[in-house]
């Protein structure tokens, strides 16, 4: 079975800094792949390379076996690659509902041509993430945790095949984190493969089928959560950081 | 849309359409100017208000429309309608060719680039023979103000209808998304380059049509007045004063500011310009979101609306 | 060959003047992110101020520069503190609009107070020129050029080496950082704008000695200042100098080889090209 998403020897460097260094991995259909690493390891950059917001300096990104290096961000979105942003990007002047409707209108394939249907689907997605009660609020009136859910809903409305989640749990308390874990599991149950970047180790351990570790742009470990988290190289990368 | 709203709009439209019958000649002329300015403001609204790209190049489209009509009628002896079509073609070509590189710029830089483009166009057209160079063109006269009035009103109606349609369409949503957060829009599947160029071209089409009507009406064209940058500034002011990114805002802005300007000119000629400038300055401080927003929120906030605006925007 | 050399000299002299004209605009734009559409009008005001100082009080325009500077600084400070500070955090084109409104107000005020006649500031030595081999260099132009260079370099040194200058530069990056210099933001903004207007005023004085002033020159001068600021980049006064010299030379060459009417096409055409290819200006960053 072909991997859904594949990175082959992907490198990204600019201004003398190597942000991502010769990284290769695959994302299989129906899988939740966790991506961890100390701050500045290059995780968000890697996601940007996949979603198309930045070009790789070398290497290839493949989606369903085909190279997508040359495709601009919006085309990749339409192919089925959805993404949430760590630094969130809502449409501030629009209502929560309309924020998500944009995703439905322009998402997978040709999206939805009719505004009414797009809004309907947006409503569903918002219910799914638990924001059903505040769909008419302006997006810039939302607090932190709600904004995270909004990001998720927007990505979901695009009907992606792959969802790239960038730190959706940052700044949440324990119960909020458990709720988000549930939502992500529900997303996977819908048949969407997920690449999750997280700092909350406990959460990512329970979520992920497999785990990748980045450090200084390089991939230093890959495998099941138990194996990876016991790996001495990984422990050193984190502890070394703590000591410094 | 509710029936009474439609009825109201049709009634207002009828009142406006009836002006050539019950209005004085002066009123008709004022009307043509004000209506054409409203069309320009609406055109700008598409690229500036909805897409968020403050263009100073719409006066170029106005000039291209005028010259399209001028060249077609004077040099090639074709009818007015063909001239209008020609003007539209020129505008679209310009919008696509120059829009693609220039729309990659953001904010102030985009504004400056379009401003520079308009200066370049003026200079180029001044040197092109077919356009009559510096001397300009004189069009065949048509002494029928009521006709021009109705044409202008019709064009404004079409422009406004188009914008209304935009707000309920996928395309319009895409434009608003671009305005609110361009990178976010791209990642959600909006083809931002295509949409921006389309918005630019659409706004250009309306500006060109207005330019064509204007040229035929005053029967004279020359580069300096056809591509006059102050026209662009006026349309921006009117759109922003009335409420950018709304369907009726630019119309309200254009008509009210034209009326104020006209009133001041007749009462206190020499200070008219001065007052106009003061009105703008005060309006930006007290009602930066335009008249439409003020009317909507003053009901709730009363005079506090102005204080709120200042407090929100001051350093 | 001689003609070319003369044209180049003219271009350089004009370029220096252009640079100081654009300096104030670039400063205000780069630091405060205010695009001042009334900039040219302030240049015009500075010119008139000097004209009155010369005609009524017989103060030599160049010697009177500090006086002009102080007056214009005060005006600029007042406008920023009392007016522009009120709209700074509003969406971008509000500052465009309000400065446009200011431009209209200033132009009409000037028309009412000074009348529409053309004026030139003509100190007795203004008509002289001296010859350098085959080249003719008008005295007034040379002095204007020298002052322009002096002002540009002084600005550069000021921004780099004085505490206030560094605070102003810090503001361009980050308002909070600026607070660390111990200067209150509203005051800092007003000082910066005042400085920009003072520069505009002085540019007006220089302009008045080599060219004619009337109430309507504001718009064209603003447009030119934009072109120069963008071509030179907003980061650095020396960049503005390069931009000014560049424009001056390009205009002279275009006038010589192609024709007067194309001078504008050349300058604005280059502006568009720079924006598209190197938005940071010839000397600036590439993004």
Q: Is-contact C199 C207, C-beta < 8 A?
A: no
Consecutive H or E run containing A112: none
Angle at the Cα of C52 from the Cα atoms of C48 and C56, rounded to 5 degrees: 170
For chain B, first and last CA: distance in Å?
A: 42
Subunits close to C (at least 3 CB pairs below 8 A): B
Report, as an integer, the average pLDDT of C172-181.
68
**What class is the C2-121+133-277 domain?**
mainly alpha
pLDDT at position C287 over 50: no
Per-residue pLDDT reduced to its tens digit, B80-104: 999 999 999 999 999 999 898 888 8
Q: DSSP letters of C17-45?
A: HHHHHHHHHHHHHHHH----TTHHHHHHH
Q: Is-contact B83 B90, C-beta < 8 A?
A: no
Q: Strand, coil or helix: what is B171?
A: helix
CA-based nearest distance C111→chain B, Å? 9
Q: Length of chain A, please?
A: 244
Max distance between CA atoms of chain C, in angstroms, equals: 57
Among the partner-chain residues C88, C94, C105, the one whose CB lies closest to the CB of B274 is C105
3-state SS, A128-147, equals HHCCHHHCCCEHHHCCHHHH
Q: Strand, coil or helix: what is C197?
A: helix
State the Cα–Cα distance between residues A196 and A169, nearest whole angstrom. Answer: 10
- Taken in order of first residue, the domains within chain A and their CATH numbers are 1-80+161-244 (3.40.50.300), 91-159 (no CATH)
CA-based nearest distance A238→chain B, Å? 32
Q: Strand, coil or helix: what is C284?
A: coil
Residues belonging to chain A with any Cβ–Cβ distance to chain B shorter than 8 Å: 51-53, 72-74, 77-78, 83, 85, 89-94, 98, 101-103, 105-108, 111-115, 118, 154, 158
Look up residue B212 and give its two tokens.
């064509």
Among the partner-chain residues B170, B179, B188, the one whose CB lies closest to the CB of A154 is B188
Angle between helix C65-82 and helix C39-57 axes, rounded to 10 deg? 140
Q: Across-strand partners of A6?
A: A26, A62
Q: How many CA atoms lie within 13 A of B244 on its CB side?
A: 28
Count CB neighbours of B267 within 10 A: 10
Look up residue C236 and give its two tokens.
């650095």
Angle at the Cα of B282 from the Cα atoms of B277 and B288, rounded to 5 degrees: 115
**pLDDT band at residue B294, thresholds of 50, 70 and 90?**
confident
The torsion defined by the Cα of A208, A211, A217 and A221, in degrees rounded to 10, comes to 170
Per-residue pLDDT reduced to its tens digit, C87-133: 887 777 788 888 988 988 998 888 888 887 888 887 777 677 888 77
A23, A11, A79: which is closest to A51 by C-alpha?
A79
B174/A102 touch (CB, cutoff 8 Å), yes or no: yes
CB burial class (10 A; 0-12, 13-18, 19+) of residue C216?
middle
For chain C, first and last CA: distance in Å?
A: 39
Count CB neighbours of A207 within 10 A: 23
Look up residue A89 and give its two tokens.
């990007």
Look up residue C60 and give its two tokens.
């030599």
pLDDT at position B282 over 80: yes
CA distances from residue A35 to A100, B226, C226 in whole angstroms, order as listed = 26, 59, 48
pLDDT at position C178 over 70: no
Report, as an integer, the average pLDDT of C145-154.
88
What percent of chain B shows pLDDT beyond 70?
98
Contacts of A76 (CB under 8 A, 6+ apart): A50, A51, A52, A63, A68
CA-based nearest distance B215→chain C, Å? 24
Please report the pLDDT score of residue B144 as a whole number.
Answer: 87
A158/B184 touch (CB, cutoff 8 Å), yes or no: no
C264/B236 touch (CB, cutoff 8 Å), yes or no: no
A106/B186 touch (CB, cutoff 8 Å), yes or no: no
- Top mean pLDDT of B63-72, B126-135, B295-304, C121-130 is at B63-72
CA-based nearest distance A41→chain B, Å? 23
Q: Which residues of C touch B288 (CB under 8 A)?
A: 87, 90-91, 94
Among the partner-chain residues B104, B270, B284, the one whose CB lies closest to the CB of C97 is B284
Q: Is-contact C213 C204, C-beta < 8 A?
A: yes
Chain B's closest residue to C269, CA to CA, is B120
pLDDT at position C268 over 90: no
Q: Which residues of C183-194 are buried (b: 16+ CB within 10 A; e: fewer)?
A: bebeebbbbbbb
pLDDT at position C286 over 50: no
Please report the pLDDT score of residue C283 as a whole number.
Answer: 57
pTM of the model: 0.84
Q: Is-contact A227 A208, C-beta < 8 A?
A: no
Q: Strand, coil or helix: what is C152?
A: helix
Residue C213 is classified by DSSP as B
Sign of CA dihedral B213, B218, B223, B229: negative
Sign of CA dihedral B156, B159, B161, B167: negative
State the Cα–Cα distance between residues C71 and C76, nearest whole angstrom. Answer: 9
Select the residue from C82, C90, C215 to test the B interface by mutation, using most B Cβ atoms within 10 A. C90
3-state SS, B108-137, equals HHHHHHHHHHHHHHHHHHCCCHHHCCCCCE
Look up residue C71 and give its two tokens.
């007056």
Q: Low-confidence residues of chain A, pLDDT below 70?
A: 1, 240-244
Contacts of C96 (CB under 8 A, 6+ apart): B54, B111, B236, C35, C37
**Would an 8 Å CB–CB cutoff place C114 in contact with chain B?**
no
Q: Length of chain C, please?
A: 287
**Would an 8 Å CB–CB cutoff place C32 in contact with chain B?**
no
Among the partner-chain residues B168, B173, B191, the one whose CB lies closest to the CB of A74 is B191
Select the residue from C91, C97, C116 to test the B interface by mutation, using most B Cβ atoms within 10 A. C97
Q: Is-contact A121 A154, C-beta < 8 A?
A: no
Q: Is-contact A154 A86, C-beta < 8 A?
A: no
State the Cα–Cα distance between residues B228 and B222, nearest whole angstrom. Answer: 10
Among the partner-chain residues B170, B181, B192, the one whose CB lies closest to the CB of A91 is B181
Q: Which residues of A53-75 are buried (b: 16+ CB within 10 A; e: fewer)?
A: bbebeebebbbeeeebeebebbe
CB burial class (10 A; 0-12, 13-18, 19+) of residue A141?
exposed
Q: Which residues of C248-257 are buried (b: 16+ CB within 10 A; e: fewer)?
A: bbbbbbbbbe
CA-based nearest distance B206→chain C, Å? 22
Q: Which residues of B touch C89 (CB under 8 A)?
A: 312-315
Angle at the Cα of C171 from the Cα atoms of C167 and C173, rounded to 5 degrees: 120
Select the residue from B133, B179, B281, B307 to test the C interface by mutation, using most C Cβ atoms within 10 A. B281
Angle between helix C39-57 and helix C2-32 axes, rounded to 10 deg? 110
Q: Which residues of B touch A154 (CB under 8 A)?
A: 188
CA distances from residue B273 to B182, B280, B308, C106 in whole angstroms, order as listed = 38, 11, 29, 10
Per-residue pLDDT reduced to its tens digit, C184-238: 788 888 999 999 999 999 999 999 888 888 888 888 888 889 888 888 877 788 8
Residue with tokens 């202008």: B152
Per-residue pLDDT reduced to its tens digit, C2-54: 788 888 888 898 898 999 999 999 999 888 888 898 999 999 999 999 988 88
Report, as an integer, the average pLDDT of C71-88.
90
CA distances from residue A76 to A64, A72, A83 in whole angstroms, order as listed = 12, 7, 10
Ranking B171-175, B239-243, B302-306 by mean pLDDT, the lowest is B302-306
For chain A, first and last CA: distance in Å?
A: 43
Select the residue from B179, B188, B292 to test the A interface by mutation, using most A Cβ atoms within 10 A. B188
**pLDDT band at residue C284, thresholds of 50, 70 and 90?**
low
Subunits close to B (at least 3 CB pairs below 8 A): A, C
Select the residue from B189, B190, B194, B290 to test the A interface by mutation, using most A Cβ atoms within 10 A. B189
B192/A90 touch (CB, cutoff 8 Å), yes or no: no
**What ipTM was estimated for this complex?**
0.84
Q: Strand, coil or helix: what is B237?
A: helix
B184/A91 touch (CB, cutoff 8 Å), yes or no: yes
């Amino acid at each position: 079975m072909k991997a859904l998403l594949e990175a082959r020897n992907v490198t990204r460097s600019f201004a003398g800094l190597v942000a991502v260094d010769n990284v290769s991995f695959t994302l299989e259909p129906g899988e939740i792949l966790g991506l961890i690493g100390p701050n500045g390891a290059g995780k968000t950059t890697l996601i940007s390379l996949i979603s198309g917001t930045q070009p790789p300096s070398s290497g290839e990104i493949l989606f369903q076996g085909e190279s997508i290096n040359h495709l601009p961000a919006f085309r990749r979105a339409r192919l089925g690659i959805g993404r949430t942003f760590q630094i969130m990007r809502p449409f501030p002047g629009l209502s929560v509902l309309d924020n998500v409707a944009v995703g439905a209108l322009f998402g997978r394939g040709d999206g939805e041509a009719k505004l009414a249907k797009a809004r309907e689907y947006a409503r569903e997605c918002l219910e799914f993430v638990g924001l059903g009660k505040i769909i008419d609020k302006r997006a810039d009136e939302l607090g932190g945790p709600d904004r995270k859910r909004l990001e998720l809903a927007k990505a979901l409305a695009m009907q992606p095949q792959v969802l790239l989640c960038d730190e959706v749990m940052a700044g949440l308390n324990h119960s909020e984190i458990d709720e988000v874990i549930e939502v992500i599991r529900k997303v996977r149950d819908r048949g969407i493969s997920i690449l999750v970047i997280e700092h909350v180790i406990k959460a990512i351990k329970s979520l992920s089928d497999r785990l990748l570790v980045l450090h200084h742009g390089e991939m230093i470990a890959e495998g099941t959560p138990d194996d990876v988290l016991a790996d001495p190289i990984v422990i050193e990368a984190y502890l070394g950081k703590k000591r410094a | 849309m509710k029936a009474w709203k439609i009825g109201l709009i049709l009634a207002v439209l009828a009142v406006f359409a009836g002006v050539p019958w019950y209005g004085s000649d002066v009123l008709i002329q004022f009307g043509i100017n004000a209506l054409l300015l409203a069309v320009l403001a609406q055109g700008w609204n598409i690229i500036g208000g909805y897409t968020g790209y403050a263009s100073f190049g719409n006066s170029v489209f106005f000039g291209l429309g005028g010259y399209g009509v001028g060249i077609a009628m004077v040099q090639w002896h074709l009818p007015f309608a063909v001239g209008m079509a020609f003007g539209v073609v020129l505008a679209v070509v310009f919008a696509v060719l120059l829009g693609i590189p220039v729309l990659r710029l953001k904010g102030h830089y985009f504004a400056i680039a379009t401003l520079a483009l308009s200066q370049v166009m003026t200079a180029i057209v001044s040197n092109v023979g077919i356009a009559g160079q510096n001397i300009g063109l004189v069009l065949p006269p048509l002494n029928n103000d009521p006709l021009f009035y109705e044409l202008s009103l019709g064009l404004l109606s079409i422009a406004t209808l188009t914008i209304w349609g935009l707000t309920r369409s996928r395309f319009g949503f895409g434009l608003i998304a671009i305005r609110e957060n361009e990178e976010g829009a791209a990642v959600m599947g909006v083809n931002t380059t295509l949409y921006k160029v389309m918005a630019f071209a659409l706004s250009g089409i309306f500006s060109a049509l207005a330019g064509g009507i204007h040229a035929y009406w005053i029967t004279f064209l020359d580069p300096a007045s056809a591509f006059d940058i102050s026209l662009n500034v006026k349309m921006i002011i009117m759109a922003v004063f009335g409420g950018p990114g709304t369907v009726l805002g630019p119309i309200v802005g254009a008509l009210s500011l034209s009326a104020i300007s006209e009133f001041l000119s007749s009462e206190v000629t020499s200070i008219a310009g001065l007052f106009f400038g003061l009105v703008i300055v005060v309006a930006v401080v007290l009602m930066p979101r335009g008249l439409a927003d003020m009317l909507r929120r003053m009901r709730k906030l009363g005079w506090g609306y102005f204080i709120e605006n200042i407090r929100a925007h001051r350093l | 060959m001689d003609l070319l050399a003369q044209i180049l000299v003219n271009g350089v002299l004009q370029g220096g003047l252009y640079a100081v004209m654009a300096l104030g605009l670039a400063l205000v734009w780069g630091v405060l992110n205010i695009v001042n559409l009334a900039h040219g009008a302030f240049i015009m005001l500075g010119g008139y101020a000097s004209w009155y100082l010369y005609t009524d009080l017989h103060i030599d325009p160049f010697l009177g520069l500090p006086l002009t500077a102080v007056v214009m600084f005060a005006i600029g400070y007042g406008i920023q503190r009392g007016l522009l500070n009120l709209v700074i955090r509003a969406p971008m084109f509000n500052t465009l609009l309000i400065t446009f409104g200011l431009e209209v107000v200033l132009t009409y005020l000037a028309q009412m107070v000074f009348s529409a006649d053309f004026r030139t500031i003509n100190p007795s030595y203004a008509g002289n020129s001296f010859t350098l081999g085959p080249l003719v260099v008008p005295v007034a132009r040379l002095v204007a050029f020298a002052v322009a260079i002096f002002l540009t370099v002084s600005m550069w040194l000021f921004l780099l080496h004085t505490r206030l200058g560094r605070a102003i530069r810090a503001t361009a990056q980050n308002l909070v950082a600026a607070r660390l210099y111990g200067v209150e933001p509203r005051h800092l903004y007003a000082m910066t704008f005042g400085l920009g207007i003072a520069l505009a005023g002085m540019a007006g004085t220089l302009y008045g000695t080599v060219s004619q002033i009337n109430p309507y020159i504001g718009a064209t001068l603003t447009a030119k200042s934009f072109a120069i600021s963008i071509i030179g980049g907003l980061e650095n006064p020396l960049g503005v100098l390069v931009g000014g010299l560049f424009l001056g030379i390009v205009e002279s060459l275009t006038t010589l080889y192609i024709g007067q009417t194309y001078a504008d096409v050349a300058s604005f055409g280059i502006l568009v090209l720079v924006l598209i290819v190197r938005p940071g200006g010839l000397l600036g960053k590439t993004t």
